[in-house]
Amino acid sequence: MRSALHLLIVAILLFGGAWPVTKAALAHATPMWFAVGRAGLAALVSAGVLAALGRLHLPHRRDMASVLALGLLQLGAFFVLAHAAVSLVQAGRTAIISAVVTYWLIPLSVFVLGEKVPAHRWAAAGLGLAGVAVLAGPWAVDWADPNQLLGHLMLVLAALFWTLAIITTRRFPPHSPIFELLPWCFALATVLILPFALVLEPAGGIFGPSWPYMLYIGLIVAPIGTWCVIEVGRRLPGAVASVAFLLVPAFGVLVSNLWLGEPLGWDMLLGGGLIVASVVLASRR
């Protein structure tokens, strides 16, 4: 449990700050090509590290369920949907909704994995979702705008794909350590995203001012943060993990407010407080 919490802290710091960086990068990059670069660089750097350690190898047969789920769902589909949505929705809102696996992970953990969720963890999930609702501020969104509606729908679906990948890795544990599977997962994600970039953004790309952001996201956030998130999802009970992941968007909103100048008010304080309270409640035995 303690090691999982340490990994959670790293994931919060890396992924919470990733969406404001991505939003800034998209001023001089197109979403799908940024996603291709993110996944491709992560594949290269994780393969290079493993090769240097003498641990680079092809996935075993028992690894394939995890490689397919992580590569196609948590990385490929998630990146396509979330990167497309971040161009339509505020960075802080993107961080919130895309990371809210609570409304998917707890019921799926119960019905698919047969986990028993104590009453206080159901209450913690409700408290966390209330905090998310306050942070997301649905009353401030122009739902008549089709771009806003589409962007939010894509983020909800992104969270579902992330959750399905977590469920798969827990239902069919891989033979190899997750870290040794990352190059193949990111490579598969790159192959999935590339056609979207070619078709949707034929004149797109990653241009000069966005490359420092690209290198930070692709070389550091994607490989390290993804490994941390996957391990947290596998090691913690579904109810605890789903609530704990809410700290990622809360930190993302804070960074968005401080860096991008997105509005900071009572909703940030109240929503963040509710999420912190929900995590404390969920962590009780």
What is residue 262's predicted lDDT score, i.e. its pLDDT? 59
Tell me the per-residue pLDDT of 144-176, one tens digit each, with 9 for 90 and over: 778 778 888 888 888 889 889 988 988 899 999
What is residue 260's predicted lDDT score, i.e. its pLDDT? 60
Q: In angstroms, rounded to a whole number, what is the distance separating the alpha carbons of residues 44 and 7?
A: 22
Characterise 262 by phi-psi region: left (phi > 0), alpha (psi -120 to 50), beta (else): beta
Q: State yes or no: pLDDT of 194 exceeds 70.
A: yes
Cβ neighbours, 10 Å, residue 212: 12
Handedness of CA 173, 174, 175, 179 (dihedral sign): negative
Highest mean pLDDT among 78-92, 149-163, 197-211, 230-244: 197-211
Of the pLDDT bands very low, low, confident and very high (cuts 50, 70, 90), residue 193 is: very high
Of the pLDDT bands very low, low, confident and very high (cuts 50, 70, 90), residue 237 is: confident
What is residue 71's predicted lDDT score, i.e. its pLDDT? 95
Helix or strand or coil: residue 17? coil
Of the pLDDT bands very low, low, confident and very high (cuts 50, 70, 90), residue 4 is: confident
User: Which residues, 6 or more positions from 130, have their beta carbon under 8 angstroms from its beta carbon?
Assistant: 274
- Compute the mean pLDDT over every residue in the chain, rounded to the nearest whole number: 82
The token pair that represents 198 in the structure block: 């070619």
Tokens 């404001």 belong to 20
Check if the beta carbon of residue 181 is closer than 8 Å to that of residue 61. no
Q: State yes or no: pLDDT of 51 exceeds 90.
A: yes
pTM of the model: 0.80
Position with higher pLDDT, 104 vs 73: 73
Residue 140 CA neighbour count, 13 Å, CB half? 11
Cβ neighbours, 10 Å, residue 195: 12
- Radius of gyration, CA atoms only, the chain: 18
Say what percent of the chain tops pLDDT 70: 82
Tell me the per-residue pLDDT of 86-135, one tens digit each, with 9 for 90 and over: 777 765 566 666 666 666 777 787 788 787 877 877 787 788 778 777 77
Q: In angstroms, rounded to a whole number, what is the distance separating the alpha carbons of residues 123 and 110?
A: 15
* Cα–Cα separations (whole angstroms), residue 54 to 107, 143, 180, 181: 40, 52, 11, 14
Q: In angstroms, rounded to a whole number, what is the distance separating the alpha carbons of residues 217 and 210?
A: 11
Position with higher pLDDT, 230 vs 254: 230
Q: State yes or no: pLDDT of 136 exceeds 70.
A: no
Position with higher pLDDT, 261 vs 153: 153
The token pair that represents 202 in the structure block: 């034929």
The token pair that represents 115 in the structure block: 């986990």
Q: State yes or no: pLDDT of 1 exceeds 60.
A: no
Q: Which of 52-66, 108-122, 219-233, 260-274 has the lowest mean pLDDT?
A: 260-274
